[in-house]
């Protein structure tokens, strides 16, 4: 958690790209069997993310205080928590999208808020021909193409800095700043 959010202060959600085991698992394996449906906007909105973050942090604090100072019991609790959240993530991938969990993951949400303006993806609007290839390739279902018309891409804090859209653009219209 510290590594992910710490890196976000410099590079945005880069941790979630391939350093997070769950993110790598989603892109490598779940992508093959996920229907890849659209992640609803409400699921990646602040109220839901705050609720998930608050619930998990409250449970974590309560259990650590309750089990203190037994390291075995605390360790078992962490294994159970990680197993449950992984199962939830797998179900979200099976019925929605391989990266759906990443929309509500507490580390992802914190990283998204902390690193929103770090290492931003920018567009040369004159070069863009609105072909949409960048949007099609994004593993987080973001739409870099939007930047041609809008000031910023929606949910830009969720950009994983993976660079797939940059590579996909036939006009070299996208680049990272910094």
Query: Can you give the binding site for ligand SF4, defined by CB under 6 A?
Result: 121, 123, 128-134, 137-140, 142, 144-145, 159-165, 168-169, 171, 173-174
Closest distance of CB 163 from ligand SF4, Å = 5
Query: Smaller CB distance to ligand SF4: residue 4 or 139?
Result: 139
Q: 28 or 83: whose CB is closer to ligand SF4? A: 28
Question: For residue 25, what are the CA distances in angstroms to 1, 31, 33?
Answer: 18, 9, 12
The single residue listed with the structure tokens 């391939």 is 18
Name the residue nearer to ligand SF4 (CB basis): 8 or 134: 134
Q: Least distance to ligand SF4 from the beta carbon of 14, Å?
A: 10
Q: What angle do CA 113, 4, 80 make, to 5 degrees?
A: 105
Rounded to an integer, what distance in angstroms lies between the CA atom of residue 59 and that of residue 115?
A: 25
CB of 15 to ligand SF4, least distance (A): 13
Nearest to 9 by CA among 81, 94, 114, 105: 114
């Amino acid at each position: 958690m510290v590594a992910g959010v710490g890196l976000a202060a410099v590079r945005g959600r880069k941790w979630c790209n391939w350093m997070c085991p769950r993110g790598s698992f989603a892109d490598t394996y779940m992508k093959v069997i996920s229907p890849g449906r659209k992640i609803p906007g409400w699921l990646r909105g602040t109220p839901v993310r705050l609720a998930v973050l608050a619930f998990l942090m409250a449970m974590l604090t309560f259990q650590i205080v309750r089990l203190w100072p037994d390291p075995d019991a605390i360790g078992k609790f962490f294994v159970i928590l990680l197993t449950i959240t992984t199962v939830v993530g797998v179900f979200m991938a099976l019925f929605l999208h391989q990266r759906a969990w990443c929309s509500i993951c507490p580390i992802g949400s914190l990283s998204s808020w902390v690193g929103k303006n770090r290492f931003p993806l920018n567009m040369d609007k004159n070069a863009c021909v609105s072909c949409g290839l960048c949007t099609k390739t994004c593993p987080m279902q973001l739409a870099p193409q939007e930047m041609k018309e809008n000031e910023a891409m929606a949910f830009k804090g969720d950009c994983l800095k993976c660079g797939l859209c940059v590579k996909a653009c036939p006009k070299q219209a996208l680049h990272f700043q910094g």
